[in-house]
């Protein structure tokens, strides 16, 4: 993928592009932060990558700066206290799910044993 050289896009221009392409949330400045739902990272306007915008590269678009994460503005939410709490909860829930799975496996093994007689 061809990246637009940052030298060609001033901060003002980048902010203008972000505001145009991110129709979901308003960007006050490139210092604004977003939480990427796809890779689970906090990203700033400065970090966001610009793609395309030239012939052959398709329409201009903005993507997550994280390697191999190609999420789009729709996937970027404001990192409010609730969102950050939710992230922490999801991490905890993930750990719980793992524990429950282990419990279920243990129960399955217990159930199997009497039938074997
Ligand atoms: Zn991402």
Output the 3-class SS for 16-58.
HHHHHHCCCCCCCCCCCEEEECCCCCEEECCCCEEECCCCCCC
* pLDDT tens string 85-117: 887 888 788 788 878 777 877 777 666 555 555
Q: What is the mean pLDDT of residues 6-19?
A: 85
Beta-carbon contacts of residue 14 (< 8 Å; ≥ 6 apart): 30, 45, 48, 50
Neighbours of ion ligand 1 (CB under 5 A): 36, 38-39, 64, 66, 69, 71
Distance, CA 99 to ligand 1 centroid (Å)? 28
Q: pLDDT category, 13, cuts 50, 70, 90?
A: very high
Spatial distance between the Cα atoms of 39 and 56, rounded to a whole number of angstroms: 28
Q: What is the pLDDT at residue 102? A: 79
Residue 82 has pLDDT above 70, yes or no: yes
Distance, CA 116 to ligand 1 centroid (Å)? 49
Spatial distance between the Cα atoms of 46 and 9, rounded to a whole number of angstroms: 11
* pLDDT tens string 31-69: 999 999 999 999 999 999 998 877 777 888 999 999 999
Distance, CA 60 to ligand 1 centroid (Å)? 18
């Amino acid at each position: 993928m061809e990246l637009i050289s940052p030298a060609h896009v001033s901060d003002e221009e980048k902010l203008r592009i972000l505001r145009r392409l991110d129709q979901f949330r308003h960007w006050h400045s490139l210092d604004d932060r977003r939480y990427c739902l796809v890779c689970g990272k906090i990203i700033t306007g400065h970090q966001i990558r610009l793609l395309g915008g030239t012939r052959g590269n398709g329409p201009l678009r903005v993507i997550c700066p994280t390697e191999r994460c190609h999420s789009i503005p729709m996937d970027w939410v404001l990192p409010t206290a609730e969102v950050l709490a939710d992230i922490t909860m999801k991490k905890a829930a993930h750990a719980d799910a793992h524990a429950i799975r282990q419990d279920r496996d243990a129960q399955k093994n217990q159930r199997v044993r009497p039938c074997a007689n």
